[in-house]
Amino acid sequence: MAEDKTRSELEQRIIQALKTVYDPEIPVDIWELGLVYDLQIDPENNVYIKMTLTSPACPVAGSLPGHVEAAVKAVEGVKDVKVELVWEPPWNPNMMSDEAKLELGFM
């Protein structure tokens, strides 16, 4: 049970780190935008993130995954990070959190 609590705490710290990474064209972090499709932590605390961008033509397609990797690697307890950029399913504004929708005037 203690291991589950520790893993949950690590996951929360990783999410907080993801909330420090912003899409440069939209003033909302990638977590609230719904750009992170999957977050997995293995028993050795290696982290796997599957994410997308708002558009395949996004100008930061080459650099944003590296920013995500660096932010998560900086979290205490994380051993290694792998970020996979995917395009399916395509991102759409419905994937945003209510907080992001409110911030951007969608609500």
pLDDT in tens, the chain (107 residues): 555 666 689 999 999 999 999 987 788 999 999 999 999 999 999 999 999 998 888 777 788 999 999 999 999 999 999 999 999 999 999 999 999 999 888 87
Q: Quick one: pLDDT at residue 106?
A: 83
Could you tell me the pTM of the whole model? 0.89
Q: What is the pLDDT of residue 2?
A: 54
CATH class of 2-94: alpha beta
Q: Residue with structure tokens 């049970």?
A: 1
Quick one: pLDDT at residue 5? 65
Q: Is 17 left (phi over 0), alpha (psi -120 to 50) or beta?
A: alpha
- Are 54 and 63 spatial neighbours (Cβ–Cβ below 8 Å)? no
